[in-house]
Amino acid sequence: MARSASTIVAKLAWLVPVLLLLLTVHQSKVVLDLGRTVRDGTRTVAEVTRYVRIDRKDVTQAELDLRVLLPDGGVLVRERLSLPYSISHRVEQDTLTVIVLPGSAQEVVIASIVGTQTRIALSNAVMSFIMMLITGALVFAWNRFEKRGSNA
């Protein structure tokens, strides 16, 4: 028995809540990784070697390059670190206090904005979780409707 295009699309629609679940897991992991770096990391000073903030109407972005002085005397260089545009003005300095945990998922965290970054990641996780529940319910209902329609 051949399936209708609508039934095939209804089955493929399960990809949406699955992708939202993956996004929820990812953003939750970011929250945990930021917390781990703050808790277990070491405070040090980083030199801002490049700071770019674009304020055009069509493009708003901010990024910077850091040269982090490690407590053991080493240097850690991080380039093209994207920042949330709305808080990028808080890092317009020549040096920044950072928290470093080498080898972790979030190796370098800027101390002055880590709270905001954590709240952004947490709100992303919550929003994607809620959307996963909504789309999951809608896809479930659609598939149930398709199944009943094919049995009639």
What is the residue whose two structure tokens read 């009943």? 148
Q: Highest-confidence range of 72-81, 107-116, 129-138, by mean pLDDT? A: 129-138
- pLDDT tens digit sequence for 1-46: 456 888 889 999 999 999 999 999 999 999 999 999 999 999 999 9
- pLDDT tens digit sequence for 96-125: 999 999 999 999 999 999 999 999 999 999
Residue 65 is predicted with a pLDDT of 95
Whether 128 contacts 16, CB under 8 Å: no
Strands 75-83 and 60-69: antiparallel
Q: Would you say the C-alpha torsion 120, 125, 128, 137 has a positive or negative sign?
A: negative
Rounded-to-integer distance, Cα 7 and Cα 13, Å: 10
What is the residue whose two structure tokens read 């992303």? 124
* Count, residues in the chain: 152
Q: Which helix (H) or strand (E) holds 80?
A: strand 75-83
Rounded-to-integer distance, Cα 53 and Cα 120, Å: 19
Q: How high is the mean pLDDT of the chain?
A: 92
Residue 2 is predicted with a pLDDT of 53
